[in-house]
A and B are shown apart, each in its own frame.
Chain A
Amino acid sequence: MIGPEVQKRISSLRFALLSPDEVRKMSAVKVTTADTYDEDGFPLDRGLMDLHMGVIEPGLRCKTCNGKVDECPGHFGHIELAMPVIHVGFVKEIKDILEATCNSCGRIKLKDEELEIYRPVLEKSILNGEESLEALAMSKKIIDEAAQRSVCPHCGAEQYKITLDKPTTFRENGRKLSPKEIRERFERIPDKDLIFLGLNPNTARPEWMILTVLPVPPVNVRPTITLETGERSEDDLTHKLVDIIRINQRLRDSKDSGAPQLIIEDLWELLQYHITTYFDNQTSGLPPARHRSGRPLKTIVQRLKGKEGRFRSNLSGKRVNFSARTVISPEPFLSINEVGIPEEAARELTVPIPVTPFNIEKLREIVRRGPNPKGEKYLPGANYVIKQNEKGLKQRIMIMEKNAEDVANKLEVGWIVERQMMDGDVVLFNRQPSLHRMSMMAHRVRVMKNRTFRFNLAVCPPYNADFDGDEMNLHVLQSEEAKAEARILMAVQEHIRSPRFGGPIIGGVHDHITGLFLLTYKNPLFTKEQVLHILSYVNYDSLPKPVIVDGKEYYRGKDIFSLILPKDLNMEYKAKICDGTGCKECVFDKCPYDAYVMIKNGQLLTGTIDEKSIGAFKGVLLDRISRDYDSVTAAKFIDNFTRLSVGVISYMGFTTGIDDTDIPEETKIQVDEILNDAIESTKAYIDAYQKGILQSLPGKSPEETLEDNIMRVLSDAQKKAGEIASKHLGMENPSVIMARSGARASMLNLSQVAANIGQQAVRGRRINRGYIGRTLPHFKKGELGAYAHGYVRSSYKKGLTPLEYFFHAMGGREGLVDTAVRTSRSGYMQRRLINALEDLKVTENDGLVIDTTDNIIQFAYGEDIIDPTRSKQGKAVDYDAVFSKALGERFFLQIRGGK
């Protein structure tokens, strides 16, 4: 590791072309042998693994720097090419320059007075390195204009048309230009003209774009891999270099022995192919060079490009230490701030603890336990101790059972113990895709048995996690700064509210909602025994006051729920189960459906707790608590209601099944009648349309009108059938409880199971694709009826006919395709947004949005300087909350009176 004393700052970067002389100068060896090792496995002299280019085998020393394996950085070699060869990376530039310059005198084909007007701007940009889009456009313009000239304005020579045969063959008037000729032409271009081509004559000559000498990368870049069998296998780059040297040698031999021009040209082209693929093995127009096994070789460009390339996979993102990944599973008895970690992972992951006079005894005990403490209960051991000697040199001692006692006794203040994880350590927990900041939050560790990560179900929504096999990552924080920062900024309890919509994103899901619904709906009575069971997981002060019914003591569900509410909370709102239908006028707290929630001084007086109260995304009760109280209180509230609700639902029991959707025979007949009527009605519309007497809707053609009418009639029928079926599915029905309380599914889902699935659609209209004039061969051409265009009359429970099944699959498939397309598209959009916004910041004092060079991007963050996390659904002020606090009871009475 380099010490802090050699820190340097990069002041500028310059890109240039390597000249052949520079390549030779930086080369440690001229490579001439197309082979790697001799029979003894020793690198051949002047071979591709020559020891001058660095060492990869332990024991040997580099012949250039005398360094050992980890000391030698590697050195370049070079290959002298028998004939010049075009560099694929510069083909476009070579073509531009060929077109812009004269074929005989090498000047740019523009008159001096035409050229010189550009000089000042270009010199400023190219010679002084000032970035300028203007200069770029200018040299492009010069090249375009010069290419148009058919006579050189300087020497009067006639100019010909240059064409490029992809990838690397240039032709002039159909005659092939050899790289040698091109190079000769480029040599004629005077330095003073280069600037107009966008080249800086100090760093780049155009002829350097045509290779005469090829740099050979150090062996460290293309190491030999030794398999367990002792077999050696070379890197793809080495393979390619072998090919290059071999052909180069043959080309040189043929040239020297005066072989026929044809043979020389063939070899030359072959050399061009090998060098081209050495740079880029996916050049269009060239077959990729393959390994013996048939796998295409991974050459230089392939190493860098794309998602798996050096940039995106090794530089922008890296693999890290002190991290773990495993399957996740739920654990309702953990706090939302905690995460359960398997013992196996906890033993492997460590936290560095500096030894101080205050903790030395404690740490001795930990070190003494060694890396694998025995015993039923998990106790942290230590894996390493970092010893610091007088010179400040650090030495890592691995702790094993053998030396644990010894190291523990020798422990000194100033050393560092790498302690295994224990309860309370701070870790970062993450699930991909990390789409928002809540995808990575800080949890406190709880070491547990079994091999999954576990967390409270209320934390599923921010991670978008479920337990069908999802895996998550965990990172152990190492420094005190990191731990403090994570605890304050990244802790789960600080992210209960989301900046995405100004409401809670952590909150009750599925069973939490069902559980509290069962507890509070119509205020059921519980015996003391039941209450103690239910509350056994919950923190509470004392039992509520019992009510006496028939001489026995009972506790009411709403009183039990009130135990976990803050004592000074006052709220009124409509619950989720209030669907607003069936009531002429709202009677508020006298609601016969128990759908009006009224909380006074922390007592739930009326109403049912459901998704609207405690659901993630929607819970207004949760929203109020997270906004009006501190994050600790909010976290405790979530911990408590999850435990309470799990207590309720496991004590009372809750189950659902297909018979939840059973409806009586008479109802089935009623549903049938409605559907029959609807079909008849569609037939009437079709009839009217065919007779030409269908009244078109304004702005629509008769065809569109017919479609609209059919769709409307069928969806009305579905709605009506659903309503009739739902009448027989009451609030005691578990499926209905889940749907109405918002725990899972919807009434539409239930009616599709019980009564009627309804029209299937692709792209928002009835199904119209398939054969010519019809969807399937079972129908007549041009048939317009409901069944011919994807109407599914059956219910899921009854089962679909084959034709219905087919149409249903068409509609279902569209959904799948949509999600696939949406995720990839939004992923790309997200990537670009992040790249554009990543280093903008909001100033502390005046809320300006600035970039890293202090340019103002926005004069007020979000134009209102409101932190959306603290907003109420994006609004700066929650007026209702303010008024209710100021006016108290009077406010609620006013709302009720007003409406």
Chain B
Amino acid sequence: MKKVNIMEHELVPEHYLLSEEEEKELLDKLQVTKDSLPKIKRSDPAIKVLEKIYGPIKPGRVIKIVRKSQTSGKFIAYRVVVEE
């Protein structure tokens, strides 16, 4: 079977790996700790794709997700990577 890059599918939102500085900036802006962010499993297919680019992504890294929104056009969410 042909391998598909799921990121190219229109229903899969864009995922970006945040750098450590960007993480700090984000948490400062929101005034929260990492554990109150929504989570994403390390086994998530989207993380697997990111890992192909960046190598293994450790739990605790933050992913930025840009998706289409009915109300605001574009919407940015963040998720912290967790083990299982």
Contacts and interface: CB of A to CB of B under 8 A. Distances in A.
Contacts of A853: 36
B75 interface: yes
A856 B37 contact: yes
A863 B36 contact: no
A665 interface: no
B30 interface: yes
Contacts of B72: 860, 863-864
A876 B69 CA distance: 14
B13 to A, nearest CB: 12
B30 A863 contact: no
A824 interface: no
A854 B78 CA distance: 15
B36 A855 contact: yes
A864 B68 CA distance: 12
A859 B77 contact: yes
A862 interface: yes
A860 B75 contact: yes
Interface string B24-43: 00000010100011100000
Interface in A831-867: 846, 848, 850, 853-860, 862-864, 866
B71 interface: yes
B69 A856 contact: no
Interface in B12-55: 30, 32, 36-38
Contacts of A862: 71
A854 B69 contact: no
Given A848-B30, A854-B32, A854-B36, A859 B71 contact: no
B16 to A, nearest CB: 15
A390 B73 CA distance: 66
B38 A856 contact: yes
A863 B71 contact: yes
A272 B70 CA distance: 61
Contacts of B78: 859
B30 A846 contact: yes
A393 B13 CA distance: 65
A866 B73 CA distance: 13
Nearest to A871: B71
B6 interface: no
A857 B38 CA distance: 7
Contacts of A876: 71
Contacts of A860: 72, 75
Given A848-B30, A856-B32, A859-B76, A866 B37 contact: no
Contacts of B37: 856
Nearest to A868: B71
Contact of B69 (A846, A855, A863): A863
Interface size class of B (residues with CB under 8 A): 10 to 19
Nearest to A859: B77
Contact of A856 (B36, B70, B71, B76): B36
A877 to B, nearest CB: 12
Nearest to A846: B30
Nearest to B76: A859
A860 B74 CA distance: 12
Contacts of A854: 32, 36
Given A854-B32, A855-B36, A864 B77 contact: no
A103 B55 CA distance: 53
A866 B71 contact: yes
B32 A864 contact: no
Interface string A434-457: 000000000000000000000000
Interface string A860-892: 101110100000001010000000000000000
A853 B72 CA distance: 27
Interface string B3-14: 000000000000
A135 B69 CA distance: 38
A864 B36 contact: no
Nearest to B78: A859
Contact of B75 (A850, A857, A863, A866): A863
A423 B1 CA distance: 78
A856 B75 contact: no
Nearest to B84: A134
Contacts of B36: 850, 853-856
A853 B76 CA distance: 22
Contacts of B69: 863-864
Contacts of A874: 71
A858 B75 CA distance: 10
Contact of B71 (A846, A855, A864): A864
A863 B68 CA distance: 10
A643 B72 CA distance: 42
Contacts of A848: 30
A850 B38 CA distance: 11
A110 B15 CA distance: 45
Contacts of A855: 36, 38
Contacts of B76: 859
Nearest to A857: B38
A855 B39 CA distance: 10
Nearest to A861: B71
A857 B71 CA distance: 17
A856 B37 CA distance: 5
Q: Which of B69, B71, B78 has the most CB of A within 10 A?
A: B71
A849 to B, nearest CB: 11
B4 to A, nearest CB: 28
A306 B32 CA distance: 40
A136 to B, nearest CB: 15
Nearest to B29: A846
Nearest to A134: B84
A846 B26 CA distance: 13
A846 B71 CA distance: 17
A335 to B, nearest CB: 35
Of the listed residues A846, A858, A859, the one surrounded by the most CB atoms of chain B closer than 10 A to its CB is A859
A866 B71 CA distance: 9
Pick from A857, A864, A866 the residue with the most CB of B within 10 Å.
A864
B27 to A, nearest CB: 11
A853 B36 CA distance: 8
B52 to A, nearest CB: 27
B81 to A, nearest CB: 15
Nearest to A855: B36
Given A854-B36, A856-B38, A863-B72, 17 more contacts: A846-B30, A848-B30, A855-B38, A856-B32, A859-B75, A859-B76, A859-B78, A860-B72, A862-B71, A863-B71, A863-B75, A864-B69, A864-B71, A864-B72, A866-B71, A874-B71, A876-B71
A-B complex: 7 closest residue pairs judged by Cβ atoms: A864-B72, A864-B71, A863-B69, A863-B75, A855-B36, A863-B72, A863-B71
5 contacts: A848-B30, A855-B36, A857-B38, A858-B77, A863-B71
Interface of B: 30, 32, 36-38, 69-72, 75-78
